[in-house]
Chain A
Amino acid sequence: MNPVASLSPEPKMSAIRCHHLIKRYGETQVVHAFDLDVADNEFVVFLGPSGCGKSTILRMLAGLEDISGGDLHIGGQRVNDLPPQERGIAMVFQNYALYPHMTVRDNIAFGLKRLKVPKAEIDSRIKEVSDTLGLERYLQRKPTELSGGQQQRVAIARAMIKTPKVFLFDEPLSNLDAKLRNHMRIEIAKLHQTLKTTTVYVTHDQHEAMTLADRIVLLRDGRIEQVGTPQEIFERPRSAFVAGFIGTPPMNLMEMAVHGLDGGQCELRGGGGSVRVDARRFALEGRARVTLGVRPAHLHLDTTRANGEGFAGEVQLIEYLGNEVLVSVGQGGEEIAVLLPSAAGPRLGEPLRFVADAQQVHLFDVATGASLLRPDAVLH
């Protein structure tokens, strides 16, 4: 059952194994039995809205927060009660957390000095990391004399130089402007390709998560909502929450009534429209209502009006995105977002008819939000 059980029983040197990790502050429990195995060399991203516990879990991995319950193994060793420096980790903080009273060189060397590394080796390793990150020119400067991107590079250099078993990143790019963020994201991805160090990366930005991660751990209220590759999470969201959280523009979610049809088909009606789905793909037995999820890109203009299936409404709002336009179409008091090619040239107030790509729709339980997709259902 448990997908992690299939991994090698002996974790490799830098694998992380979290078993039922719990975090309590007094009476309040903020992390509930967190289970996760991170394989050697893997890049795992913790993604979720603020307050979902992603940073808390990262800080528990780092040894900056006490672990209230469960077991944490890094590189095969139980590290619950070890201080940060004995866990073989290095961390990059959101606001860089450089030592403001030291030069860049001293910032990078500070950890190695503690380890009593010989000076000649410190020098050669500083040269190596500063070459990699383009910091040679700034070694004698103080952190306040650097730009945000340079400071973040120093923070990464400070983490890299210790050649840790595990890199921990706590929202490292959220203090940078959009352009620099893109640039640094690519640098981090390249760095991981080169170093292959096991990495846990916390972010609330789904774009960062999708582009960087081998696997995404999507968290909500201190619980794992879904673990999977970016593609799995995007294509087979396990709940309405995941479906709504992942993907821009966000997925349309609306409640529909279920009507059985012949030939293994079901028709879902609601929100001023209808869509026909293959009843063999979804566990619809005994359900009168479901939540329909359909991404704006999976709605298409319909000119044929073949069998009365589809949605109709008037254009309420047009957002120009370049190649595409995002159109809000009002129908039956609800609005549904549709992504159309710019060439379609929709106008405000224009009536539109469109159909959902039946292979691309998602159905969720109205109450729990759990996906109704059958586990064996094949995606188109």
Chain B
Amino acid sequence: MKKLAIGTLLARLALIAAGLSALVPVLWTFLNSFKNRVDIVSAVPKFFFTPTLDNYLYVLNREAVAAGLVNSIVVAGAAVIIGAVLGLPAAYALARYPLRWGNDIQFFVLSMRFLPPVAVAIPLMVIWLQLELYDSRTALIATYTLLTLSTVIWLAIPAFKAVPKEVEEAGRVDGYGPYAIFFRIALPIAARSLVGAIAFGFVLVWNEFLIALMLTTSEAKTLPIVASELSQLGRDVPWGILNASVILLSLPPLLMVGVLSGFLNAAFKRKREAE
């Protein structure tokens, strides 16, 4: 018994250590974003200091940040919407209608995620330059749609497969055609899992850095690019500003995940209450 207890204790300690190693840097970044430069570069880490909002004000008052925020919202939003509008029906078709090439299509979609982004970015850069769309939101939306589309398709196929076939057949017997069954039966039933797939696609493109770096120079820069540029302001790294921008950048995906998990919890809670 006692040995088991020690084992459990050790396991818990290991878990706590792992948890701390993930959380402490985030917490430290959060604290530093409210510090003056003196407090950050002090040799002894400071936990108690006079907080300041200067870093945030600096970041938020820069035009580049505002422009980057707009770009990020437009680009990620549009790529996710297009990816969902095209990807959900594609995933449904692959899940429900047996095709000779069905498995190959699925694998091809996934294989687009195997390639290192650089390998994709350089040809894309040439293509957009040739089309004179380089450094435009259009080019970035089109490129990101490739990412969201493949993610949404790949994650939505199992969601649609989980919809009981008989329920759709009952819809057919009730007189509904394939489109009505998709919109009025399959989509609402799979909605919970689909929301997760779409959220994942959003977070993926919101955080995307490398492709954005190669496809934009000034007009269409997204927030991750703008944030990274803040560190190149001079020889002295502006730690406070950098930390503040990291925190600001993390907020939208966090909010999104928070809202989503609330939505998911509510949905599951309803189901549990039902049972």
Q: Is the CB of A62 within 8 A of B173?
A: yes
Contacts of B185 in A (CB 8 A): 99
Q: Is the CB of B274 within 8 A of A114?
A: no
Q: Is the CB of B170 within 8 A of A100?
A: no
Stretch at the interface among A14-22, A85-93, A219-227, A304-312: A85-93
B63 within 8 A of A: no
B116 within 8 A of A: no
A84 within 8 A of B: yes
Q: Is the CB of B166 within 8 A of A94?
A: yes
Contacts of B174 in A (CB 8 A): 85, 110-111, 114, 158, 162
Q: Is the CB of B175 within 8 A of A111?
A: yes
Q: How far is the CA of A239 from the CA of B262 in the complex (A)?
A: 63
Q: Is the CB of A64 within 8 A of B189?
A: no
A60 → chain B closest CB, angstroms: 13
| 20 further contact pairs, Cβ within 8 A, besides A62-B173, A85-B173, A162-B174 | A63-B173, A64-B169, A83-B172, A84-B172, A85-B172, A85-B176, A91-B170, A93-B169, A93-B170, A95-B166, A97-B164, A99-B167, A99-B171, A99-B189, A101-B188, A111-B174, A111-B175, A115-B175, A144-B271, A158-B174
| Count, chain A residues at interface, CB 8 A | 26
A98 within 8 A of B: yes
Q: Is the CB of B173 within 8 A of A84?
A: yes
Q: Is the CB of A89 within 8 A of B173?
A: yes
Max count, chain B CB within 10 A of own CB: residue among A63, A110, A142, A162: A110
A99 in contact with B173 given A144-B271, A145-B274 (CB within 8 Å): no
- Sample (14) of A-B pairs whose CB atoms are under 8 Å apart: A64-B169, A85-B172, A85-B174, A90-B173, A99-B170, A100-B189, A101-B189, A101-B191, A110-B174, A111-B173, A114-B180, A144-B274, A145-B274, A158-B174
B132 within 8 A of A: no
A-facing residues in B147-182 (Cβ within 8 Å): 164, 166-167, 169-176, 180
Q: How far is the CA of A182 from the CA of B102 in the complex (A)?
A: 44
Contacts of A158 in B (CB 8 A): 170, 174
B236 within 8 A of A: no
Q: Look across to chain A and name the residue whose beta carbon is closest to the beta carbon of B176.
A: A114
B275 within 8 A of A: yes
Q: How far is the CA of A100 from the CA of B170 in the complex (A)?
A: 12
- Indicate which residue in A97, A101, A114, A115 contacts B169 across the interface (CB closer than 8 Å): A97
Contacts of A114 in B (CB 8 A): 174-176, 180
Contacts of B191 in A (CB 8 A): 101
B97 → chain A closest CB, angstroms: 14
- Indicate which residue in B166, B180, B188, B271 contacts A93 across the interface (CB closer than 8 Å): B166
Q: Is the CB of B167 within 8 A of A100?
A: yes
B194 → chain A closest CB, angstroms: 13
Q: How far is the CA of A110 from the CA of B191 in the complex (A)?
A: 19
Max count, chain A CB within 10 A of own CB: residue among B169, B173, B180, B185: B173
A97 in contact with B172 given A144-B271, A144-B274, A145-B274 (CB within 8 Å): no
Q: How far is the CA of A100 from the CA of B186 in the complex (A)?
A: 10
Q: Look across to chain A and name the residue whose beta carbon is closest to the beta carbon of B169.
A: A64
Contacts of B164 in A (CB 8 A): 95, 97
Q: How far is the CA of A95 from the CA of B180 in the complex (A)?
A: 22
Q: Look across to chain B and name the residue whose beta carbon is closest to the beta carbon of A91.
A: B173
A108 → chain B closest CB, angstroms: 10
Q: How far is the CA of A83 from the CA of B174 in the complex (A)?
A: 11
Q: How far is the CA of A114 from the CA of B173 in the complex (A)?
A: 11
Q: How far is the CA of A146 from the CA of B83 in the complex (A)?
A: 37
